[in-house]
Structure formats: C-alpha cells, structure tokens
Amino acid sequence: MFEALSGRLSGVFDGLAKRGALSEADVMEAMREVRLAMLDADVALPVVKDFVNKVREGAVGHEVLESISPGQAVAKIVNDALIDALGGAGAVPLNLSATPPVPVLMVGLQGSGKTTTSGKLALRLRTRERKKVLLASLDTQRPAAQLQLAQLAEQAGVVSLPIVAGQTPVEIAHRALDTGRREGYDVVILDTAGRLSIDEALMEEVRQIRDATNPAETLLVVDAMTGQDAVNTAKSFNEAVGVTGVVMSRMDGDARGGAALSMKAITGAPIKLTGSGEKLDALEEFHPERVAGRILGLGDIAGLVEKAADTLDHEEGERLANRMMAGKFDLDDYASQIRQINKLGSISGILGMLPGMGKVKEALGDKDLDTSILRKHQAIISSMTKAERRTPAIIKASRKKRIAAGSGTTVQDVNKLLKQFEMMSTMMKRFNKLGVKGLMRQGMSALMPKGMGGGSPGGPGGSPFR
C-alpha cells in the first residue's frame, strides 16, 4: 500500500545524502518533492501542509544544516513527523476495562468488511486476551447478514446470539447484553447494519443502539482501498455518533495509503487495528512507528518477530535446527521448512518488513519473489516414497520419471531440487564440522561447495531465496 510513497521518499533522502552539506534551498527543494509524493499517495491536503511545515521548521535548523550527515538528520525529522501524522508512537489498545459484559459496537458502511472484522476481533479477544466473547448481528437489512456472522463465530470458536426473526436492532442489542450478563460473557460484539452511503436513517439507527447499550468502544470499520472516501466516512460517523477508534480493512491492498496518514488528523479518532487479509487471524494492532519505518524503508523487525512468534511452530523449529546441527537434514525436514515459511505469508511481504529491502524488492521484481518454486518443491517431495525422502541418493532415472509424473513437473525440475538439496546438506555438514569458531575464522566462503557458481534463483546452484 505504501510502496509508491516509500519509493519517492527514498529518492528524496538519497538525493540529500549525496550532497554533503545542505543549504536552505536544498531543503526547500526536498520538501517540494515530499509534498508532491504525499499528494500523489492521496494524503489529505491539510495534512500534507501541516506535515511539510513541521519538517521544514525542523530541517532548516542550525543543527541539521551543519550536521555531519544532514540527509540522515532530515530523514529522522520526516520519520518523527510521519509517526505524529499516523497518531503518535505506540499502539492505542482497546478499552475493555468496563464492567462485563463489555459492549463493543461495530459501525461502518456496507462492504467495508465490518462483519468479517467482527469475527476477526472475536478470535483475537478469545485467543490473545482470553476473553469469553459473544457475537451478535444487529443487521436486519442485508439478506443473510446474521447467518454470515453465525458462521464466522463458529470459525472463530465463539458463540453467536441465536437469530430471532422480526426483532429490531435495538431489541437484539438488549437481548445480547442480557444474554451476556446471564451467561458470564466478558465482551459482547454488536455488528450493526451498513448502508451503501451515509444517510440520516443509518446514523439514527446507530445512535439509538449506542444510547441503548452505552458501548465501551465504538469501532468504525473503513476500507483502506477507498482512499479519502474512508477519511470522509470516518469524519461523518465521528461527528454523528462519536467514534472511539478506527479499524482499517484491506491494508494489504495496492491502493495508495493516504487514508491511513490522514485519518487521525482529519477525524481525531486513532487507528486501533488493521485488517490485512481474508483469514480470521489477519487482524493486527496499528503501530504508527512501525508503519513509518516501513514507509521510509527502515523495516519492521518488531512486527516480523511478533508475526513469527504467533504463526511458527517453535517445537518443530527447534527439531529442525537440531537435525541441521547434527547434519541429519533430509527432504522431509526441507518440506517442513517450506510449510513454516508459507505460514509467514508471501516472501515479498516478509522482505517488506526487513530494513533496506525496498530497493532489493524493486531490483528483483515480483517474479523472483514468487513462491511457486517452493510449491513445486513441496509437490515433488510429496510424490516421493518415505525411503526416497530419507535417502535421496537412491533416486535414479526411473524413480525421477515417476516422481515428475506424480508431481506434474519435469525430470529437470526433480534434478534441480535434488542438486539444491545436496548443496544444502553439504553446507550443513561443513558447518557441523567447522563449528561456530571455525566459521568465524574462515568466513561464510568455507561453507560453499568448491567450484560453486553464482547460479540463478531456483536454478542449479541457485536458491529460491537468493
């Protein structure tokens, strides 16, 4: 979402870094580029003006112009201004400190992902906060909306309020809170109806539900791909019913990311959560400093570590590491490693969270970040017998033909995988033999097979990660 803005800002800082000492004119020229980049990214004009003024005031200071690395000093000022624009450092947590059952009201326009986000939030509260959650659909307008929420509740492992035909949204809300009190629920999530556009009837319905339930949180779900329309929607809802936080759905889209940068300044409501996928676990806290870091190409190591901690199987990881250290790594272990990588998402997404990888992604292009080579390897390994996976050396011509036919690949693909696996095994055996001290003395070149060429990604002598 922020790739275009990130590329433009990186270009500005690269230009400043080459100049050595900076004059005031250099800063003004750089700020002009920053302003154009932000407007192109669909950031609201008042936010752009305020942002550029803040950066200009800091950048034209005596310390910056005469510092040893003025380009880096300006980048630091831009980073701080980005964090401010996004809502200030640190995630804003959900307020769940009221007396149980805590009502959480979900509002927004139709098609913004409100019902799906309600399911995601229920799963998050159940697994991370250890809360007993009740989901209730107040949407009597959209056909099958209540059934959709019931299915999402089942997937999230929480209870949904039984559907009673003919009840009004306010009556359903009262019944949900009564059920919550009687059956000892910690949180009751109320999914309200949406409209195709903002109208007074929608706002009046939401106001009535708000007055009847007195929610601890009123979360507005907006579609990040609608750009400034999302900001205008948030402003209207905030003025009409009062919003305590914003959830931005579809943050994994390729639309321009100006809505996120404009939201706090225009509406006054902080972005609390973001949705980045269709799966129920694809809901994350919004950390302004991490998003600013990714925009400026500084990466998001903390986010990557959190993601790995949540998704990877640590026992399996330890088992694989021990087998690698012992030099007993086989094709079953390699397949397990591929499954672990796939859990983290696309390689492109992982690279985006690493510092300085924006330019690497640009240089490689999308085709080299494709995980199809890993899927192909998985298919080939799945077509082998247990004996073949344990001892790849027994795989000769006839076996290769059978494996290729079974996996829908060619014999050449099977050969590439076996050659690559042989090189990995050789490197692991050498590492085991050298130990950490030996590796520090001789360097990484000691692990490489003798006479090994550079290779190409996924080809003989290459790696899908190179």
The answer to whether 111 is annotated as binding is: yes
The answer to whether 152 is annotated as binding is: no
Q: Which two tokens stand for residue 198?
A: 């903002």
The answer to whether 461 is annotated as binding is: no
The answer to whether 56 is annotated as binding is: no
The answer to whether 5 is annotated as binding is: no
Q: Decide if 17 contacts 297 (C-beta within 8 A).
A: no
Q: Decide if 465 contacts 346 (C-beta within 8 A).
A: no
The answer to whether 443 is annotated as binding is: no
The answer to whether 294 is annotated as binding is: no
The answer to whether 193 is annotated as binding is: yes
The answer to whether 249 is annotated as binding is: yes
Say how far apart CA 106 and CA 115 lie, in whole Å: 8
The answer to whether 252 is annotated as binding is: yes
- Closest residue by Cα to residue 92 from 217, 273, 303: 273
Per residue, what are the HEC states of 46-72?
HHHHHHHHHHHHHHCCHHHHCCCCHHH
Burial class (CB in 10 A: 0-12, 13-18, 19+), 269: buried
Burial class (CB in 10 A: 0-12, 13-18, 19+), 327: middle
Q: Can you tell me which residue has the tokens 């070149």?
A: 445
The answer to whether 407 is annotated as binding is: no
The answer to whether 453 is annotated as binding is: no
Q: Decide if 134 contacts 188 (C-beta within 8 A).
A: yes
The answer to whether 340 is annotated as binding is: no
The answer to whether 250 is annotated as binding is: yes
Q: Decide if 347 contacts 465 (C-beta within 8 A).
A: yes
The answer to whether 256 is annotated as binding is: no
Say how far apart CA 107 and CA 259 lie, in whole Å: 18
The CA-atom distances, in angstroms, between 256 and each of 38, 44, 112, 265 are 10, 12, 17, 18
> Residues forming the annotated binding site?
108-115, 191-195, 249-252
> Residues forming the annotated binding site for GTP?
108-115, 191-195, 249-252
